[in-house]
Amino acid sequence: MKAFIIDRYGKKETGRIADMPAPEMREDDVLVRIHAASVNALDSKIRSGEFKLILPYRLPLILGNDVAGTVVRVGPRVSRFKPGDEVYGRPDQDRIGGFADFIAVREASLALKPANLSMEEAASVPLVALTAWQALVETAKLKKGQKVLIHAGSGGVGTIAIQLAKHLGANVTTTTSTGNVEWVKALGADTVIDYKEQDFAAAPRDYDVVLNSLGGDVLKRSLQVLKPGGQLISISGPPTPEFADQQGLSWPLKQVLRLLSQGIRKRAKRLGLTYTFVFMRADGEQLRKITSLIESGSINPVVDRVFPFDATADALAYLDRGRAKGKVVVKIG
Ligand SMILES: NC(=O)c1ccc[n+]([C@@H]2O[C@H](COP(=O)([O-])OP(=O)(O)OC[C@H]3O[C@@H](n4cnc5c(N)ncnc54)[C@H](OP(=O)(O)O)[C@@H]3O)[C@@H](O)[C@H]2O)c1
């Protein structure tokens, strides 16, 4: 089958289209013919080698962490899906490979594709929507009337997180640049901070939750706007020792993460706040809940650009520029 692979890790590695063997099926796997896959910052980070200690893959590796397609075959233990079903999902982190003609995905990580979405729109959803869900619903337990600050509201995670937080009844503030202010308002944000003109950290200390997807300086200064008992949730690091336990990482690596996150954990504690690093995971059940929100119109996925399969490296380069509004998708079938 045709696949977009990397042969080695490194900043100079772009990846290439190659002929690869069809995926091997396990008993609880669903074989999906992929029609569209979306691009995530994670793909670039895996490609550069940034994640090789946390996610050790065998090379050559097919990249791609989000798929939408049609079920071709199911393993003997699969009960939820049958050939012909249209599905979408984020494959398990140790079995990625969305930029390919086919992928075998564990049944528990898939869901039926929302009926009102195209394959390209559906492929844009799983990783970022599960991230938003696991940050705002599972970790923050965000409630009606609470105030949340979502950084980078125009990005892949931000566009979904704003809509999910509004659905939960929260009051949403987000940050974006001047040209995107009206656009993120239309997504539902109550207050928009133009980071080119205003300093978000000058806001009063009255946020219950901050969702950070930006760098260390934004992370640190986010502590200033949280009220006592507030939660700082970061998806862009630094990872914590708890994350090391969840991932089953080695003891030395856990100590490295302890040191990396020590500063922010201590600062948060001193202020009576909590700091959590969320690293999203595949979850078909949560994805089904997200499907309902999409089908009821509470969440509308946002696709910035669709690239042809042969231009997967260009799609990654486009995302790497950091200016995408919503998601970048690769059309496969
Ligand atoms: N831990 C996890 O499980 C997990 C899951 C998903 C993503 N992530 C991480 O989260 C980060 C964001 O992912 P993403 O997919 O949302 O990224 P993205 O789609 O590439 O984000 C692009 C957006 O970021 C905005 N932006 C850039 N700098 C900004 C700033 N200083 N303030 C406000 N907005 C800014 C840009 O808006 P402007 O053009 O207006 O600046 C652009 O719309 C990445 O580092 C990714 O690796 C982690």
How far is ligand 1, taken at its centre, from the CA of residue 168, in Å?
22
Residuewise pLDDT in 10s, the chain (333 residues): 999 999 999 999 999 999 999 999 999 999 999 999 999 999 999 999 999 999 999 999 999 999 999 999 999 999 999 999 999 999 999 999 999 999 999 999 999 999 999 999 999 999 999 999 999 999 999 999 999 999 999 999 999 999 999 999 999 999 999 999 999 999 999 999 999 999 999 989 999 999 999 999 999 999 999 999 999 999 999 999 999 999 999 999 999 999 999 999 999 999 999 999 999 999 999 999 999 999 999 999 999 999 999 999 999 999 999 999 999 999 998
Answer whether 142's CB lies under 8 Å from 41's CB.
no
Say yes or no: 231 and 326 in one domain: no
Per-residue confidence (pLDDT) for residue 275, from 0 to 100: 98
- My answer on whether 44 and 108 are in the same domain is yes
Q: Do 197 and 162 belong together in one domain?
A: yes
Instruction: Supply the pLDDT for residue 333.
Output: 80
On whether both 311 and 212 belong to a single domain, the answer is: no
- 110 and 34 within one domain: yes
pTM: 0.99
Nearest atom of ligand 1 to the alpha carbon of 177: 40
* Residues 6+ away with beta carbon under 8 Å from 107: 28, 29, 30, 74, 75, 77, 78, 79, 80, 81, 284
SS (H, E, C) the chain: CEEEEECCCCCCCCCEEEECCCCCCCCCEEEEEEEEEEECHHHHHHHHCCCCCCCCCCCCEECCCCEEEEEEEECCCCCCCCCCCEEEECCCCCCCCCCECEEEEEHHHEEECCCCCCHHHHHCCHHHHHHHHHHHHHHCCCCCCCEEEECCCCCHHHHHHHHHHHHCCCEEEEEECHHHHHHHHHCCCCEEEECCCCCHHHCCCCEEEEEECCCHHHHHHHHHHEEEEEEEEECCCCCCHHHHHHHCCCHHHHHHHHHHHHHHHHHHHHCCCEEEECCCCCCHHHHHHHHHHHHCCCCCCCEEEEEEHHHHHHHHHHHHCCCCCCEEEEECC
Please state, in angstroms and as integers, the Cα–Cα distance from residue 57 to each residue in 14, 46, 89, 256, 320, following that order: 17, 9, 20, 21, 22
Are 54 and 95 within one domain? Answer: yes
Say yes or no: 14 and 114 in one domain. Answer: yes
Q: How far is the CA of 46 from the centre of ligand 1 (A)?
A: 16
Range of the domain at 17: 2-125+301-331
Closest ligand 1 atom number to CA of residue 319: 20
On whether residue 150 sits in a domain, the answer given is yes
| Position in ligand 1 atom list of the atom nearest CA 159 | 16
Spell out which residues line ligand 1, taking CB within 6 angstroms: 40-42, 128, 131, 151-152, 154-158, 175-177, 180, 195, 213-214, 235-236, 278-280, 319, 322-325
Pairing state between β 110-112 and 226-234: unpaired
Mutate to test the pocket of ligand 1, among 93, 176, 327 (most ligand atoms within 8 A of CB): 176
Question: 25 C-alpha to center of ligand 1: Å?
Answer: 34
Top mutation candidate among 125, 177, 211, 243 for ligand 1, by most atoms within 8 Å of CB? 177
119 and 143 assigned to the same domain? no
The pLDDT of residue 142 is 98
User: In angstroms, rounded to a whole number, what is the distance separating the alpha carbons of residues 246 and 225?
Assistant: 29
Tell whether 100 and 135 lie within a shared domain: no
Same domain, 220 and 120: no
Same structural domain, 18 and 47: yes
What CATH code is carried by the domain that includes residue 327?
3.90.180.10
- Between CA 326 and CA 226 the distance in angstroms is 26
Residue 287 lies in a domain: no
Quote the ligand 1 centre to 158 CA distance (angstroms).
7
200 and 164, same structural domain? yes
DSSP bridge partners of 274: 231
pLDDT score, position 297: 98
Q: What is the CATH number of the domain that holds 139?
A: 3.40.50.720
Total domains in the fold of the chain: 2
The answer to the question of residue 284 being in a domain is no
CA-based torsion, 81, 83, 86, 89: positive or negative: positive
